[in-house]
Amino acid sequence: MKTPLRSSLAAFIALYSATLAAQPSTELGIPKPVYGDDEILPRIVGGIPSRFSERSYQVSLQSGTSHFCGGALIGKDWVLTAAHCVDNGAPPPSVLTGTHLKNSGGQRFESAQVIIHPDYRRAPEGYDVALLKLTGTPDLSLERLQLADNAVMGAVANPGNTVTISGWGRFAVGGDKPDNLYEVDVPLVSNETCSLSYPGKINDSMICAGLEEGGKDSCVGDSGGPMVADYQGQTYSIGIVSWGAGCAEPNYYGVYARTQHIADWVRQYVPVTGGSSSSSSSSSGGSGCTGDAYVVGGSYLNGGVVHHHDIHYRCLVKGWCASTATWAYEPGAGTYWTNAWELVGACGAGSSSSSSSSSSSSSSSSSSSSSSSSSSSSSSSSSSSSSSSSGGTACVGLAQWDTSTIYTNGDSVQKNGVKYTANWWSQNDDPETNSGMWQVWSNNGSCL
């Protein structure tokens, strides 16, 4: 297997020139990461058109109406993409969701916030991951990807296992750009094998895929898009299109950000399932119950497992299973959407080994609200120290909601004598206008 050095100067110049011609202007905010002296191509070659029903999580990052990178829906209103797509100082991108046509259909949202992994420097150095918080909520019928935990990775992410990559990228360097979403299946390769193509460049935050003989790969415009694998009926994010030399060239594999490696970081901001190596036991369940107990007001992602009356259930709704007084998704109950939950088995029966999954279980119990672990919540000491003066006995110790404070899942606040508990990461989301089903806050009632 040859090294990344080109066999001849002429071949290098031809490829480099074609690459530059293929890239849109950086004035549009389209990144052009570099590896050594070669252009790193945010690289689908050798693929087939995707079916919308199978890839509804796919999104297009756009500058104006021009596609430049891909991404995937995770959580209610978040997108997982590559950091190099959004690290160039350009305005936050628009995000087109719910369509396989990159220029029409679907819903368009702006990026309210861009969060880049703190260990990211440039794509070939790893941690090429970013999160986009959208200004609205894409159609909840669209699939949201889950993050593969250790058990899933052990089952589907071994060298030789096939994964799927999708995007609107070019068919070749300097080639045509498709209007429809395409996908390609490629085998994973070990990091050791991948290092032979990119000596000294592959680390644990990366995962590689491709054919030694080339012919199948991602290409220009696919950056940030998802690498996925199916496991027990669910689709999991395995990687994010990051970098590589050329498109589908022999002996040069595609390099992807390994989502397993950054799952815990993602979960600081987004209520997604997966991302940890084990399930935690719930104190409220019977013997053998794992994961979170089902609670009224909780929101649970597709594939999430809860326990209710000492029985495990898995959410089957594409998007979220939730429960309110008027829209009940109670497991085992003959109410709305009786098919929303799949019976997994009795607690202790050994049938609930999957990681747990209330992605944002908003319990009204005092135990969750009293243990705010957000460092930024503690930074608002001025507001919390005076909180008890404006509320009744039940309000004592509850911080007043503050527009500048960052809150995470389980943090509780009060506003105008009402207690609210955060369902996921939040900043500047007024609980009075952002509480209820699918909302950032749960209204726990008066604390006067």
Report the catalytic residues: 84, 128, 223
Burial of 283 per CB tally in 10 Å (0-12, 13-18, 19+): exposed
CA distance 411 to 374: 8
H/E stretch holding 377 reads helix 375-378
Name the β-bridge partners of 258: 239
Q: Phi then psi for 150, rounded to 5 degrees?
A: -60, -40
HSE (side-chain half, CA atoms, 13 Å) at 318: 14
- The identity of residue 330, as a single letter, is E
Residue from 160, 176, 257, 172 nearest 216 by CA: 172
CA 408 vs CA 19, 261, 363, 429, 440: distances in Å: 43, 21, 14, 12, 10
- The identity of residue 297, as a single letter, is G
